[in-house]
Structure 1
Amino acid sequence: MIEHKTVVRVIYADTDAMGVVYHTNYIKWFEIGRTELLRSLGYPYAQFEEEGVMLPLVECSCKYKIPAKYDDLLEVKAWISEAKSATITIDYEIYRKETGELLVTGMTRHAVTDTCLKPIRLRDRNKGLHELFQKCVKPDAE
């Protein structure tokens, strides 16, 4: 299993009138975690696009446990929990770095498509990448 950690800092614009992080910002941080996970595997999003492969979001969930606040340093953990022939699922945990408190858990599921958003089988388009994703799946997620 490969897990990637990315650190982000909460800026004032990320907070709402109650002084806590506005809920949709966690989804933005999921994207940062996912992007950096793929980059760490040697496959930045730009390379997918160059190869005519898109990963549109088809499902997203987020469970809020403890709110983050302005200036918190957050650690976003991301890993591949499922890699099928035409979908990939990434799971996330966001922690307050200073205390280790788990703030949020979530997942995103992505279709594997061509540039016209027609589903394709990743193993047919790029067998090596499909095998890499398979090797990255977190063992307890299977």
Structure 2
Amino acid sequence: MEYQFKIPFGDTDAAGIVYYPNYYRYMDNATHEFFEKIGYPTEEMLEKKQAIPLLEAHCNFFAPGRFHRIITVKTSVGEIRDKVFKLIHQFKDQDTVIAEGYEVRAWVSLDGGKPKAQPIPEELKHKLQRYQTGG
């Protein structure tokens, strides 16, 4: 699944190149966009006392992202386990892959105030599997 955004000046250094930690924020944004598109908007999950907290993140950088460029983020699903899943994000500026990263997230219940990992609901697992690529 894809979504696009324009790199704002505030995300770049004096040379107009994206400061690397912003890619982690972009991955987080891509995850919430992905979940909204598959029918699990963040605000509804929170109302139902459900969340997808981040457990691990990694990003490799291949070319600089630059101010005012339109970036396409392609999100796919890697591994799906009982309570945990992996999302893979590829960042492209037109045909150039500028970065690739992943996030490992858990499905949790916020009932009782303390997050507790829960099995991923079957309906959600099926939706995730539609975008699964391996990895």
Q: Distance in 2 between matches of 1:94 and 1:130?
A: 25
1:89-118 deviations in whole A, cap 9, x for unaligned? 100000003xx1000000000112111211
Worse-matched range after superposition: 43-52 or 62-71: 43-52
The corresponding residue for 2:125 is 130
Unpaired runs of 5+ in structure 2? none
Cα distance between partner residues in 2 of 1:130 and 1:53: 15
Match of 2:3 in 1: 6
| Aligned-pair CA distance for 1:19 | 2.7
AA matched with 1:111:
A
RMSD: 1.5
Of 46, 54, 58, the match for 1:57: 54
Q: Distance in 1 between matches of 2:31 and 2:131?
A: 13
Moved more, 100-109 or 110-119: 110-119
Q: How many residues are aligned here?
A: 132
Q: CA deviation at 1:18?
A: 3.5
The share of aligned pairs that are identical, in percent, is: 20
Show the counterpart of 1:88.
85
Report the equivalent of 1:39.
Answer: 36
TM-score, length of structure 1 as denominator length: 0.85
Find the counterpart in structure 1 of residue 115 from structure 2: 117
Helix, strand or coil for the counterpart of 2:117? coil
- The residue identity in structure 1 corresponding to 2:5 is V
> Relative to total residues, which structure has the larger strand share, 1 or 2?
2
Deviating runs (4+, > 4 A) in structure 1?
A: none
Unaligned ranges ≥5, structure 1: none
Q: Distance in 1 between matches of 2:130 and 2:81?
A: 12
Residue 26 of structure 1 is aligned with which of 16, 23, 26? 23
Match of 1:107 in 2: 102
Q: Is the 8 A contact 1:85 1:130 kept in 2?
A: no
The structure whose residues are more often helix, as a share, is 1
Distance 2:124 2:40 in 1: 9
